[in-house]
Amino acid sequence: MIRNLFTSRSISVKALVGTEAIFTVIPRKIAVELQLPVICRRRATTVKGVTELDECVGMVEVMGRKAYSHILVSDGVDIVLIGSVTLETLGLEVEPVTGRLKESKT
């Protein structure tokens, strides 16, 4: 789930864990639907090269755990990608054998 911290707007989404992604990335249509305010633009390396993406702050909930997270907004993705910063903040990590999320040991 992704939630706008300043309104009651939230949306439940299916997401992938981007093991190479630092920040969580969402499609622009979700950011527009949630009315997430842009706080700045951030340079990011994507599969298409280096670009600037809008950056927002929101709440991300995964497996019942909630965390404030910096979220990048992209026109080039159609699914939510959970980045490593968000995973660490949530206290989750990827189990390398199964590829599933689990509680981190730290």
Check whether 82 has a pLDDT greater than 90.
yes
Mean pLDDT of 85-106: 92
Find the angle CA(41)-CA(46)-CA(51) to the nearest 5 degrees.
Answer: 35
> Rounded to two decimals, what is the model's pTM?
0.92
Per-residue pLDDT at 88: 95
CATH code linked to domain 2-97: 2.40.70.10
Measured CA to CA, the distance from residue 84 to residue 100 in angstroms comes to: 14
The rounded mean pLDDT for the chain is 94
Per-residue pLDDT at 63: 95
For residue 26, count CB atoms less than 10 angstroms from its CB and return exposed for 0-12, middle for 13-18, buried for 19 or more. buried
